[in-house]
C-alpha cells in the first residue's frame, strides 16, 4: 500500500469513528454554532454577479480537468467554461501549458476540436500554424506578412498541475507567481487532495447539466444533507442519514460526509471489521466552484466525480460540467459499464431533484423585494462556509448570525 493510500485509509477510519460516535449519541454532529441569514440578493443581484465573474472566475485558479484528461505529450483540450476561449496542452516535456485560443492574426479560434492529440495547431481562417508551446511556426504566403511574426505567438495563460488536478487562470500571470498562488490557495487542503492519488484517475464519461439558477444556489445543494429526506426521499434518503455528518474546513475549502445507513451495523462490530475504504465517500469543495465527490449515491461504491459550476452572463444561468473517473484506471468493460451507470444515476438525482428545485427557488428569490433574506441552519454549516468565503473574496458583507437580525424579524422566527 502506498503512503498516500495508508493515509487515506487512516483518515477514513477517523471519519468513521466520528460518524459512529454521532450515531451512538456520544458526540454532537458537526454543525455551525448558530444559524445565519443572508440577503436573497446575493443570488440575484447583477452587480454582485459581475463582481463574482471577475474575481472568482477570471482572476482565480480554477480546476480545468484532471491530469488524466491530458494523458500524454501532445494531449490538448479546450477550456471555455471561464468565459475566455482557452486551450490547454501537455507539451513534449510533459508540462501543462495554457493559451488563449484566439488566433493572433485576426481572432479566429485556433483549436476547434474539444480535445485530441497534436503538436501543431492550424487556424481554419487563413492557416496560420502554432506549436504546442504557442509559438507561431507557419504563415501561408508569408511574404505578405514580412516583419509581422514577431510577438504573434498565442497568448500564454497560467497553468499548474497539483495532485492530479490541472489549474488554469483566465487572466495572465507569471508561471512562478501562479504556482505560488495555487499552492497558497490549496494551503492545508493539499495533503488531503494528495492522498486521493487523482493522478491515476481515468475518465469514463462526462456531460453538461444546465440549471436556470444562480451558480451559488446550485452549489449549495452539494453542501447540505438537510434536503435528503424531503427532496431525495426515494433516491438518497433510503441510504444516508442527513443528521449525522462529519465536516472539516481547510481554509476556503472543505470536506463533508454523511453516515450511510448500513454503518449503524458497525455499532455492534469491532472497529477492525468496519469497511471504511468503500463506505466512506467525501464531498470535497475546492474553492471557488468545484465539487470533487469520492463516493456514490449507492453506499459502498467509490468513484471520482467532478462537478465544476460555471455561471453564465446573467445571475440565473449556470452550467455544471460533470465528469466521472475510474479512480485507478479502467480495467474492464464491466467496470466501465458500472461507472457509466453511476454517472447516470447521480445525474438523474441532480437534474430531476436538486436542479429542478434550484430553478424554482432561484426564480422565486428573484421576485422578492429588496432586503428579503434566506436563512441557513446550523446543519447547513458547509453552505454558511461557501457564502462567507465568496463574500470575503469579493469584499461584500457576509451572512450574519441570526442574533443580529432586527428584533421584529427574530420574534417571528
Q: By C-beta, is 58 or 227 nearer to Fe ion?
A: 227
Can residue 221 be called a binding residue for Fe ion (CB under 5 A)? yes
From the CA atom positions of the chain, what is the Rg in Å? 23
Q: By C-beta, is 28 or 144 nearer to ligand FES?
A: 144
Cα angle 317, 319, 321 (rounded to 5 degrees) comes to 170
CB atoms within 10 A of CB 59: 14
Q: Which string of x and - marks every residue 77-106 that binds ligand FES (by CB under 6 A)?
A: --------------------------x-xx
Q: By C-beta, is 125 or 348 nearer to Fe ion?
A: 348
Q: Which three cell numbers stand for residue 57?
A: 472566475
Cis? peptide before 20, omega within 30° of 0: no
Q: Residue 232 CB, nearest distance to Fe ion (Å)?
A: 6
Q: By C-beta, is 138 or 210 nearer to ligand FES?
A: 138
Q: Residue 84 CB, nearest distance to ligand FES (Å)?
A: 17
Burial (Cβ within 10 Å: 0-12, 13-18, ≥19) of residue 370? exposed
Of 69, 192, 220, 354, the one binding Fe ion (CB under 5 A) is: 354
Report which DSSP code applies to 323: E
Q: Residue 73 CB, nearest distance to ligand FES (Å)?
A: 25
DSSP string, 146-188: TT--TT-SPPEE-EEEETTEEEE-SS---HHHHHHHHHHHHGG
Q: Which three cell numbers stand for residue 401?
A: 448570525
Give the interface segment with ligand FES, choosing from 118-126, 224-232, 370-378, 405-413 (CB under 6 A).
118-126
Give the interface segment with ligand FES, choosing from 50-58, 122-130, 199-207, 372-380 (CB under 6 A).
122-130
Name the nearest CA neighbour of 74 among 131, 129, 127, 153.
131
Q: Taking CB within 5 to 8 Å according to partner kind, which of ligand FES, Fe ion, none is near residue 175?
A: none
Q: Taking CB within 5 to 8 Å according to partner kind, which of ligand FES, Fe ion, none is near residue 125?
A: ligand FES
Give the interface segment with ligand FES, choosing from 2-10, 58-66, 119-127, 239-247 (CB under 6 A).
119-127
Measured CA to CA, the distance from residue 371 to residue 238 in angstroms comes to: 38
Q: By C-beta, is 125 or 348 nearer to ligand FES?
A: 125
Residues that bind ligand FES (CB under 6 A): 103, 105-108, 123, 125-128
Amino acid at each position: 500500500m502506498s503512503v498516500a493510500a495508508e493515509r487515506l485509509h487512516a483518515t477514513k477510519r477517523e471519519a468513521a469513528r466520528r460518524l459512529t460516535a454521532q450515531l451512538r449519541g456520544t458526540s454532537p454532529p458537526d454543525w455551525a454554532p448558530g444559524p445565519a441569514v443572508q440577503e436573497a440578493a446575493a443570488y440575484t443581484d447583477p452587480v454582485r454577479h459581475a463582481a463574482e465573474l471577475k474575481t472568482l472566475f477570471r482572476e482565480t485558479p480554477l480546476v480545468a480537468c484532471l491530469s488524466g484528461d491530458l494523458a500524454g505529450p501532445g494531449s490538448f483540450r479546450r477550456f471555455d467554461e471561464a468565459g475566455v476561449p482557452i486551450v490547454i496542452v501537455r507539451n513534449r516535456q510533459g508540462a501543462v501549458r495554457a493559451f488563449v485560443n484566439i488566433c493572433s492574426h485576426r481572432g479566429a479560434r485556433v483549436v476547434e476540436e474539444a480535445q485530441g492529440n497534436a503538436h501543431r495547431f492550424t487556424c481554419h481562417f487563413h492557416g496560420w500554424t502554432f506549436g504546442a508551446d504557442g509559438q507561431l511556426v507557419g504563415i501561408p504566403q508569408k511574404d505578405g506578412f514580412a516583419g509581422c511574426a514577431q510577438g504573434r505567438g498565442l497568448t500564454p495563460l497560467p497553468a499548474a498541475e497539483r495532485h492530479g488536478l490541472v489549474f488554469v487562470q483566465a487572466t495572465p500571470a507569471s508561471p512562478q507567481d501562479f504556482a505560488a498562488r495555487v499552492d497558497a490557495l490549496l494551503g492545508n487542503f493539499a495533503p488531503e487532495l494528495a492522498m486521493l492519488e487523482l493522478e491515476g484517475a481515468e475518465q469514463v464519461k462526462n456531460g453538461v447539466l444546465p440549471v436556470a439558477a444562480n451558480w451559488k444556489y446550485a452549489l449549495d445543494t452539494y453542501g447540505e444533507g438537510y434536503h435528503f429526506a424531503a427532496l431525495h426521499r426515494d433516491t438518497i434518503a433510503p441510504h444516508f442519514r442527513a443528521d449525522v455528518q462529519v465536516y472539516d474546513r481547510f481554509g476556503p475549502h472543505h470536506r463533508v460526509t454523511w453516515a450511510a445507513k448500513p454503518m449503524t451495523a458497525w455499532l455492534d462490530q469491532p472497529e477492525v471489521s468496519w469497511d471504511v475504504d468503500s463506505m466512506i465517500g467525501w464531498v470535497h469543495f475546492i474553492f471557488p466552484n468545484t465539487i470533487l465527490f469520492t463516493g456514490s449515491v449507492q453506499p459502498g461504491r467509490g468513484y471520482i466525480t467532478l462537478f465544476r459550476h460555471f455561471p453564465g452572463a446573467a445571475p440565473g444561468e449556470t452550467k455544471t460540467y460533470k465528469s466521472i473517473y475510474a479512480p485507478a484506471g479502467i480495467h474492464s468493460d464491466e467496470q466501465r459499464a458500472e461507472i457509466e451507470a453511476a454517472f447516470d444515476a447521480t445525474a438523474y438525482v441532480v437534474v430531476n431533484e436538486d436542479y429542478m428545485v434550484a430553478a424554482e427557488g432561484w426564480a422565486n428569490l428573484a421576485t422578492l423585494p429588496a432586503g428579503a433574506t434566506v436563512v441557513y441552519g446550523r446543519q447547513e454549516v458547509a453552505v454558511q462556509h461557501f457564502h462567507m468565503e465568496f463574500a470575503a473574496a469579493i469584499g461584500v458583507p457576509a451572512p450574519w448570525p441570526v442574533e443580529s437580525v432586527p428584533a421584529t424579524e427574530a420574534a417571528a422566527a
